[in-house]
Amino acid sequence: MQFISAKVEGGLGTITLNRAPLNMLNIKMMTEINDTLRDWIGDRGLKVVLFNANGKCFSAGVDVEEHMGDMASKMIESFHGMFRLMDSLGAVTVSSVYGSCLGGGCELSIFCDLVIADDTAKFGQPEIQLGVLPPIAAQIMPRIIGRKAAMDLILSGRIISAKEAMDMGLINKVVAKGDLTKETDRFIKPYLSLSAEVIRVTKKAIKAGLIDDLEPSLKIIEDIYLKELMRTADAQEGLQAFLERRSPEWKNC
């Protein structure tokens, strides 16, 4: 694979984002993640799936060029494919985060069941500043941190520290810079001693307790994104302005 590495060992599946320096998620990279997750769905011994990264940061987001024009639909299909497959896994999903964790990278991280980060990590959904919205964050973030906090982060596009993210309940644990790999191993160790089947059944029960399935709401959000948002002049202007390194000129239409 070109943009990730993946392995399974001792009940632990690890997917490492490997598109240095910023691990921008493009369609090819997301396809590699989807293919890997699809292969792992039938692994009855899989207990934990860990997302980590090489490079300057966990991920600075989805490649903006692939939001444009006819590519938007394919990008959304590939991007949302990751979350549909993660939702189908019975394993505990964990992200290990450092540096920038923004946009689609933030969504990938916080969608995981558990998040550990070092104190360099910065989380945020700046999409609104480009004239678009974060579909996965719109679906999952109110369920993690509540409506008010989710409105704040998504509508402002502001970037928060790992400590603030933990205080909000967006992530689970913050560790010192330099200790992330060691602390991640320690963080996931208890789950690897459990029964893979009991983990699957317990996750199923927790999801049932929420009385909230991913698919119905995500389908509505997709339709809003592709059939309403991406047909506005301002969405195209915001993305184009970003690529041209200039401030957008909103037309409010």
Q: Which domain does 150 fall in, by range? A: 4-192
- Whether residue 239 lies inside any domain: the answer is no
Q: Encode pLDDT of 191-221 as tens digits.
A: 999 999 989 988 988 887 776 777 888 888 8
CATH number for the domain including 82?
Answer: 3.90.226.10
Beta bridge partners of 124: 102, 159
Q: Characterize the bridge pairing of strands 92-97 and 114-118.
A: parallel
- Whether residue 124 lies inside any domain: the answer is yes
| pLDDT at residue 221 in the model | 85
Q: Characterize the bridge pairing of strands 122-124 and 4-9.
A: unpaired
- Whether residue 214 lies inside any domain: the answer is no
- Whether residue 212 lies inside any domain: the answer is no
- DSSP H helical ranges for the chain: 27-40, 71-88, 104-111, 135-145, 147-156, 162-168, 180-192, 196-210, 214-223, 233-243
End-to-end CA distance of the chain: 41
pTM higher than 0.75? yes
- Whether residue 240 lies inside any domain: the answer is no
Q: Encode pLDDT of 170-187 as tens digits.
A: 999 999 999 999 999 999
- What is the tally of structural domains in the chain? 1
Average pLDDT over residues 64-83: 90
Number of neighbours of residue 71 by Cβ within 10 angstroms:
14
- Whether residue 219 lies inside any domain: the answer is no
- Whether residue 244 lies inside any domain: the answer is no
| Residue that has been written with the tokens 């890997």 in this structure | 36
Q: Encode pLDDT of 27-50 as tens digits.
A: 999 999 999 999 999 898 999 999
| Residue that has been written with the tokens 């990279």 in this structure | 29
Q: Closest Cα to residue 26, out of 61, 70, 55?
A: 61
- Whether residue 198 lies inside any domain: the answer is no
Instruction: Answer yes or no: are the C-beta atoms of 147 and 99 closer than 8 Å.
Output: no
Using CA atoms, how far residue 204 sits from 111, 191, 213, in Å, is 16, 16, 11
Residue 80's pLDDT band (boundaries 50, 70, 90)? very high
